[in-house]
Amino acid sequence: MSAGAERVAQAGTVLEFDRVDLSFDVKVLDQVSFRVEPGETRVILGAAGSGKSVLLKAAIGLLRVDAGRVVLMGQDITRLEEKDLVAVRANVGVLFQEGGLFDSLTVGDNVAYPLENQQVRGAVPAEEVQRRVTEALRFVELEQTMDQYPAELSGGMRRRVGIARAVVTEPPLVLYDSPTAGLDPITANTIMALIAKERDAKGAASIIVTHRYQDGQIMADFRYNSERGGLIPAAADPSSAPRTIFMVMREGRIVFEGDKASLEASRDAYVRNFVRR
Ligand SMILES: Nc1ncnc2c1ncn2[C@@H]1O[C@H](COP(=O)(O)OP(=O)(O)O)[C@@H](O)[C@H]1O
Ligand SMILES: [Mg+2]
């Protein structure tokens, strides 16, 4: 477990939504409640427009909720001021939809960005930044792209840089917004393998929002084995399998919450249709 993950394991629940409502012109989150415990993997399945990205933004206070409560790392952030939010947010790594890299910065500077701009835990010395950026890029097997610009990379490589940037501070919670959207199936599986590897190497809690059921299957059924340097079926060693909970969102409401077996056994027509895709 990373130092960050350990700190939070002691602190309790990583994220809690308590009857959260959020509207633009229409209601986008409708009485959303759930809790994420340390080290847990949470897979949120939902069709386009069901409110997945809005949920993640509300989780870190980028969007304010209209009713209910959001508690992040034990802190009620529902009405927290921006300057205090910045400190709480430093505990969260985010892979934004489409990667969200800065086009004008090199790959190395993109990955360094959270270290240099979330210095609430104290300034990180330059050589330490360099060391951690290199390590994060090595983790996603892109060390050689350090001095390139995002535009020079393929879509899958950009997504991997986004993962390196999300985890470079070793946060106890990592949010992945549609990590496989727009990628071919083989690249998508590579990305999911990296996300599972990160989870199993660091013990951080992860929230993955996606419309692809296979993404959730990888998280639930595989774990990273460092000796083999790849994923192995979690069933080979059930005691070490991380807890994976699924939620299904439909038009801003959570219509299912439970483990993979109960998801696959669901008789709800909407849920069933989703799992079969
Ligand atoms: N900033 C915004 N202003 C107005 N409507 C928004 C905004 N962000 C999202 N929405 C609407 O909220 C709904 C959910 O969006 P989103 O969370 O992005 O869906 P998805 O599940 O595809 O990630 C959509 O109908 C979207 O149009
Ligand atoms: Mg989205």
- Taking the centre of ligand 1 as the mean of its atom positions, its distance from the CA of residue 64, in whole angstroms, is 14
Question: For residues 101 and 124, is the Cβ–Cβ distance under 8 A?
Answer: no
For ligand 1, atom 3, name the residue with the nearest CA.
Answer: 24
Is residue 48 lining ligand 1, measured as CB closer than 6 Å?
A: yes
Question: For residues 80 and 89, is the Cβ–Cβ distance under 8 A?
Answer: no
Question: Do 271 and 202 belong to one domain?
Answer: no
Residue 163 lies in a domain: yes
Domain boundary among 188, 212, 236: 212
Domain residues for the domain of 73 are: 3-40+51-212
User: Looking at 1-10, 37-46, 54-63, 98-107, which range is the least confident one?
Assistant: 1-10
Question: Do 136 and 35 belong to one domain?
Answer: yes
Question: Do 260 and 135 belong to one domain?
Answer: no
For ligand 1, atom 19, name the residue with the nearest CA.
Answer: 49
Cα 147 to chain center, whole Å?
Answer: 26
pTM of the complete model = 0.93
- Paired tokens of 105: 């910065």
**pLDDT tens for residues 102-120?**
999 999 999 999 998 876 5
Question: Do 69 and 113 belong to one domain?
Answer: yes
**pLDDT tens for residues 43-71?**
999 999 999 999 999 999 999 999 999 99
Question: Do 165 and 250 belong to one domain?
Answer: no
Is residue 51 lining ligand 1, measured as CB closer than 6 Å?
A: yes
Question: Do 275 and 163 belong to one domain?
Answer: no
Question: Do 183 and 275 belong to one domain?
Answer: no
pLDDT score recorded for residue 121: 58
Residue 18 lies in a domain: yes
Residue 9 lies in a domain: yes
- Taking the centre of ligand 2 as the mean of its atom positions, its distance from the CA of residue 178, in whole angstroms, is 6
Question: Do 154 and 275 belong to one domain?
Answer: no
The closest alpha carbon to 234, from 226, 65, 225, 88, belongs to 225
Alpha helix stretches (DSSP H) within the chain: 3-11, 52-59, 82-89, 107-117, 126-139, 155-167, 185-202, 213-221, 260-265, 269-276
Question: Do 34 and 165 belong to one domain?
Answer: yes
